[in-house]
Amino acid sequence: MIDDQGYNRHCIWEHSASLRDLYTRRCRQEAEEMTCAAQAAEMLAPLAAPGDTLLDVGCGAGYFYHSLVRRGIPVEYWGLDSAPSLIEIGRREMPACGLAAERLRHMRLEDLDGRVDHVVCLNVLSNLDNYHRPLERLLRCAAKSLILRESAGSEPSCLYVRDEYLDPEVDLKVYVQTYPLDEMKSFMESHGFSVQVVEDRRTRGRPELVIGYPHHWKFFLARRH
């Protein structure tokens, strides 16, 4: 027999108790702020006007909201993620910090439509099979800016590997992508954006092992003309 739960069963983010614990602690501000979250917020600060809307794509449990509040960035925060258990953590924990539960949406990127002023997407597309369609969706959604952090470089690679960091007995694979940097930049420019490539503060141009495989993190700051 068949059913409609295949996505959740094969979603790596739904199969890690340690990840759920980490995200809960981040929501409660019991874990250190992610360097990439701090950098993304600082990049956003000069672009955001009071009342602007922000969509955090692949938000996990919505803890990027804390990075905005700490810096007094006056945007209306919304987050979406495809993993229902992570969204539920945010809906449970974040209202105590001032973020209404309904601002966190369980949604796959393929289902996203609409328009916001700013989009932030950190460490998401590198786990997908390709970047073109999801990145195009983000660009169409962003009225003013898109801040993107992904693995990109002059030597692209595509791996499909077992994630060894999931719960015991879980056997799932994930894409580990390093996308062609110049091609990604040109793709964003072709959609009406000026694009600046910014060095990732955490890694300073050095590869970082994530689930045992090198990632070449870069920030892209795309502003609509």
Q: pLDDT tens for residues 100-129?
A: 999 999 999 999 999 999 999 999 999 999
Q: What is the mean pLDDT of the chain?
A: 97
Residue 1 lies in a domain: no
Neighbour count for residue 95 (Cβ, 10 Å): 14
Q: Quick: pLDDT tens for 61-107.
A: 999 999 999 999 999 999 999 999 999 999 999 999 999 999 999 99
Q: Is residue 180 part of a domain?
A: yes
Residue holding tokens 């969204």?
Answer: 87
CATH number of the domain where residue 110 is located: 3.40.50.150
**110 inside domain:** yes
**Which residues are CB-neighbours of 2 under 8 A, at least 6 positions away?**
none
| Angle of CA points 72, 73, 76, to nearest 5° | 120
pLDDT cut 70: percent of the chain above it: 100
Convert the pLDDT of each residue in 13-34 to its tens digit.
Answer: 999 999 999 999 999 999 999 9
- 149 within domain boundaries: yes
Query: What range does the domain containing 200 cover?
Result: 6-224
Q: Which two tokens stand for residue 85?
A: 């258990």
Query: For position 68, what pLDDT does the model report?
Result: 98
3-state secondary structure the chain: CCCCCHHHHCCHHHCCHHHHHHHHHHHCCCCCCCHHHHHHHHHHHHHCCCCEEEEEECCCCCCHHHHHHHCCCCEEEEEEECCHHHHHHHHHHHHHHCCCHHHEEECCHHHCCCCEEEEEEECCHHHCCCCHHHHHHHHHHEEEEEEEEEEEECCCEEEEEECCCCCCCCCCEEEEEEEEHHHHHHHHHCCCEEEEEEECCCCCCCCEEECCEEECEEEEEEEEC
CA 138 to chain centre: 11
Task: Tell me whether strands 157-162 and 173-180 are parallel, antiparallel or unpaired.
Answer: antiparallel
State the Cα–Cα distance between residues 55 and 118, nearest whole angstrom: 6
- What contacts 58, CB < 8 A, 6 or more positions away? 80, 81, 82, 109, 121, 122, 123, 124
Share of the chain above pLDDT 90, in %: 98
Provide the number of structural domains found in the chain: 1
